Structure 1
């Protein structure tokens, strides 16, 4: 553990139980993720066995009830998880895990009936049932109100038609939480309902696996729903109240994305500091150049500011305090921060920073989406502005 990590751990709002899980998870990532990540990038997916191992480790259900294999912990366990997977340097691995734990399955935790939870939650915490959330559409990214997917009631069932786009875990997932418009007369964001749809349901298919710039070991898909018949017992939460469920979960999603972004930036900067302390140029090591030291010191300062902003927003969320403004700040600031820091890290690696064999090159591609996914920077700043 670096001096910085020791200092941060001393003041971070993590309990002893979370710190113990962190130590186990870090060892797992060092031995089972980092040495194998490149092969996953080539295959375009994280092997299911790795997710099962993480389930056995107890990190896929830390926020959920012990009766389902969870640990009953609070939002800080999600922050810790995001930090540790972010440190792995493989953004696709991080996305695969965090979408399952903190972006998709919370819809079941927050709105599911006891019967629904008993049916699906044990598999979710064990890594046997991998989840995805399908809200985004080809013509409506951050604009949930522009949703075109429709569900019409037929007897006790619903028949769903539409297309979803950019869905993480979309190709290899097992259980999908899908948003659809159920009240055609409702304006804007009203009249949306969430449905739990299992892979293999007739009419539900993966249109195509998407070829991305980064996050290569995270599978991303277009999903197609053609007259998909969904039984009433698969409705998640209240009919026509799904928009509020989506907005509620955005808080958690944006906090963990901020924590992940800060951890990615920290990992890249640590590698860069090590590099410039060894790299010789113009008669000395790069570290001895004042401009290099100061740029890296500025990066560290901004990373620490982002990390503390994440902790602050997480504390507010844990206390039940309205924190849309702070969470929006987290998403906007940390997403841009990761991009800025990785730009500098590539720059200070020189030509090596542009080589595929260098982790910072891969990370610079991975972090670009941090300013887009989960709420684009501009959308997040508008949320802040509304509350000024």
Structure 2
């Protein structure tokens, strides 16, 4: 069964690689300068069937394995176009699946077909100025009104913040309970009165990925906009986080593999002491370490993908993948850049972009420290 899937994935990979070569590579530098990826690119990807591949056919997708979704973002990350990989991850593997798994039939019919075509871009709005990895500390509220709720507050560091059409917003709906209780999720359209996008934030890396502040000023929402069960939004978030964190691991591993490929190409041409540096033992040993780490993480990822497809991936496993893969990604890319010497620090060399794009992987989606806390608590609990 896996061999048949692999054959299909190999055929699909050819389509993805062709799209990268023809539609991404020639324009990516301009997108980095503009600090946004044009919506027309999303439309093109939708036409090619590269977005939300695993969404069921009744909502416009192909209903295929999650492997197809991950292949798209992995190949884009491996090629070094990490902003687009992250934007797609948030849209196709996070936002779309919140709606698929938590939404009503009406909500699915309203949003998912457009998300498949790329005409409706999605964003997840959890992080706030005072609440990042600790989602229990959110301050945005949804107060009961005559016809539903009124949302007030702000979010920050929101991926797809400028381009999105629909925002999944976490807000407190019951202020009488503490912590994660009393949180609900709402679908907020980008043209809602009272909703405003702040500046497109200036980041160290991932410049083409629009990352924004968002503001909610008495936004009126109704029962039709409630995503999932009232006051149970935190449970919905926890249910979807394993997929998000495995997605971060997937693009991190692919990103490291891409950096290793760049290093391998470079060390054959760069000379020191009268020979290519590839002939130096110290370089060969570093390459051995980098290859070993990417290979081990690739094996873990492929196993965890199967678990995700079978809906048996645990929070602990997803946290292990996210923590280990993103730490490895940064280390491998750092070693790759070092092999370039001074040229690695120059922006015209792609490895420099790999380096700055990777750093935030250890922060968003749950910091490495939070991942270790989740893993540690989970392991210890089994022995109590």
For residue 88 of structure 1, report the CA deviation from its aligned partner: 2.5
The 5-angstrom pairing of residues 65-214 of structure 1 reads 65-214=56-205
How many Å separate the matches in 2 of 1:280 and 1:348? 11
Determine the structure 1 residue equivalent to 2:382: none
For residue 12 of structure 1, report the CA deviation from its aligned partner: 8.3
- Is contact 1:79–1:256 with CA below 8 Å preserved after alignment? yes
For residue 18 of structure 1, report the CA deviation from its aligned partner: 3.2
323 and 13 in structure 1: CA distance in 2 versus 1, 3 angstrom threshold? farther
For residue 233 of structure 1, report the CA deviation from its aligned partner: 0.5
Determine the structure 1 residue equivalent to 2:329: 338
How many Å separate the matches in 2 of 1:251 and 1:266? 23
Instruction: List, as ranges, runs of 4+ consecutive aligned residues in structure 1 with deviation greater than 6 Å.
Output: none
- Is contact 2:52–2:96 with CA below 8 Å preserved after alignment? no
- Is contact 2:56–2:63 with CA below 8 Å preserved after alignment? yes
Determine the structure 2 residue equivalent to 1:382: 373
Q: Determine helix, strand or coil for the equivalent of 1:78.
A: helix
How many Å separate the matches in 2 of 1:192 and 1:332? 26
Q: Determine helix, strand or coil for the equivalent of 1:167.
A: strand
How many Å separate the matches in 2 of 1:12 and 1:296? 30
Structure 1 length as normaliser, TM-score? 0.95
For residue 174 of structure 1, report the CA deviation from its aligned partner: 0.8
- Is contact 1:62–1:72 with CA below 8 Å preserved after alignment? yes
Pair 1:326-2:317 in alignment:
yes
* CA offsets 1:36-80 (integer angstroms, 9 cap, x no match): 110100011111111111111112121211122101123222322
* CA offsets 1:66-121 (integer angstroms, 9 cap, x no match): 12210112322232222112122021111121111012221111111111111111
Range moving further from structure 2, 302-311 or 212-221: 302-311
* CA offsets 1:297-331 (integer angstroms, 9 cap, x no match): 11011011111111222222222225111110110
Q: Determine helix, strand or coil for the equivalent of 1:194.
A: strand
Determine the structure 2 residue equivalent to 1:7: none
Count of aligned pairs: 379
How many Å separate the matches in 2 of 1:354 and 1:270? 18
Structure 2 length as normaliser, TM-score? 0.96
Pair 1:222-2:229 in alignment:
no
Determine the structure 2 residue equivalent to 1:262: 253
Q: Determine helix, strand or coil for the equivalent of 1:80.
A: helix
Q: Determine helix, strand or coil for the equivalent of 1:30.
A: helix
- For the aligned residues, what is the CA RMSD? 1.5
How many Å separate the matches in 1 of 2:232 and 2:305? 25
For residue 176 of structure 1, report the CA deviation from its aligned partner: 0.5
* Structure 1 residues not aligned, in runs of 5+: 1-10
- Is contact 2:52–2:69 with CA below 8 Å preserved after alignment? no
- Is contact 1:13–1:76 with CA below 8 Å preserved after alignment? no
